[in-house]
Amino acid sequence: MSENVARLVDLAPETVSFRDAVLHGLSRTPKSIPPMYFYDEPGARLFEEICRLPEYYPTRAETAILKTNAADIAARIGPEAHLIEYGSGATEKVRPLLDALQDPVAYTPVDISAEQLAAAASDLAASYPDIEVTGIIADYSRPFTLPPPRRRPARTRAALFLGSTIGNFGPAEALAFLQQAARRLSDGGLLLIGADLRKDPNRLHAAYNDSAGVTARFNLNLLTRINRELDGNFDLAAFDHYAFYDPVPGRIEMHLVSRRTQRVSVAGKTFSFGEGESLHTENSYKFTVEGFRTLARRAGFTPEAVWLDDDNLFSLHLLRAT
């Protein structure tokens, strides 16, 4: 039997937009750059390191939920499914589900992080010889064409959006993303989506301020990427990682704060930072189970099931597109 090889489809999401997003983000007040630009190759590796940190509970909690409930989730999805995963990252979490599903047809991971996607898709294809694996390099917040399986048709479609990545969107963007997903799955398809829960702010604070400083390196890597790809001259020692939880909107905010007054050049343009001025790099919204279900209903989904981990830290929702 010939080896199962992953196919890669590059929708070239980033060629112009990284430069545009950075120049635009540094020109506005307050300065901000969207979090999707964290995930160049070193950024993706640093995120994998974050997932193993003792303070970063979301990965362990969501993985435990998936493993404990894989048979139930697989039964609800049904046989001969096509799985699509938005923001698939290292693609480790899908494995217990692929193991539990009856005769899955295809797996289509979609991610902006091209190198990590290529490596992860190829590993998955090697581990699952009967599953057609097609990696799509795309920005999932924009419309893109999702190719149907080529080898054999699927009976159902289920999308995955794990890691509470939905929390990186603001409320309006989260609604727009879910509406787009509901349209894509409008033939009665399912969405399995992880949502981190509101909890003790100290626990949240620790998760984004780990003692080994990995989250700080992940945040600062954005400046390294700008220096390398956009001919920037950020001095990394002149910026501090700053992350805090605001319980009113229910979100972690992550910033890079300038330690002094300074000028920085990027792609031939100069930007000024005052002492203590912030470059806002990420939001991570936290949810209540009912709040998330309300959002899902507004977007055109019917909540079918929700599972929590033993410590009630994280929620995994199964939604049906209506």
Ligand X SMILES: C[S@@+](CC[C@H](N)C(=O)[O-])C[C@H]1O[C@@H](n2cnc3c(N)ncnc32)[C@H](O)[C@@H]1O
Q: Which residues form the interface with ligand X (CB under 6 A)? A: 36, 39, 47, 51, 59, 87-89, 93, 111-113, 139-141, 162-163, 165
Q: Least distance (Å) from ligand X to the CB of residue 235? A: 26
Contact at 8 Å (CB) between 222 and 309? Answer: no
Instruction: Tell me the three state secondary structure of residue 187.
Output: coil
Name the residue among 50, 55, 26 with its Cα closest to residue 39: 50
Indicate the residue among 142 and 152 with the shorter CB distance to ligand X: 142
Q: Least distance (Å) from ligand X to the CB of residue 121? A: 12
Query: Can you name the residues that pair with 81 across neighbouring β-strands?
Result: 156
Indicate the residue among 140 and 287 with the shorter CB distance to ligand X: 140
Residue sitting closest to ligand X (CB): 163
Indicate the residue among 113 and 221 with the shorter CB distance to ligand X: 113
> What are the phi and psi torsion angles at 272 (to 5°)?
-105, 140
Indicate the residue among 87 and 250 with the shorter CB distance to ligand X: 87
Indicate the residue among 26 and 162 with the shorter CB distance to ligand X: 162
Question: Is the peptide bond preceding residue 35 cis, with omega within 30 degrees of 0?
Answer: no
> Distances in Å between the alpha carbon of 116 and those of 16, 97, 110?
20, 20, 11
Helix (H) or strand (E) holding 264, with range, is: strand 262-266
Q: Least distance (Å) from ligand X to the CB of residue 92? A: 7
Indicate the residue among 9 and 238 with the shorter CB distance to ligand X: 9
Contact at 8 Å (CB) between 234 and 256? Answer: no
Q: Least distance (Å) from ligand X to the CB of residue 10? A: 13
Q: Least distance (Å) from ligand X to the CB of residue 180? A: 12
Indicate the residue among 273 and 292 with the shorter CB distance to ligand X: 292
Indicate the residue among 174 and 264 with the shorter CB distance to ligand X: 174
Walk across the sheet containing 7-10 and list its strands: 7-10, 132-137, 106-111, 81-86, 156-161, 190-196, 314-321, 301-308
Q: Least distance (Å) from ligand X to the CB of residue 210? A: 15
Q: Least distance (Å) from ligand X to the CB of residue 141? A: 5
Please list the alpha-helical segments (H only) found in the chain: 17-27, 41-51, 57-77, 95-100, 114-127, 171-184, 201-207, 214-229, 289-299
Give the tokens for residue 8. Answer: 């890669």
Q: Least distance (Å) from ligand X to the CB of residue 171? A: 17
Give the tokens for residue 199. Answer: 């909890």
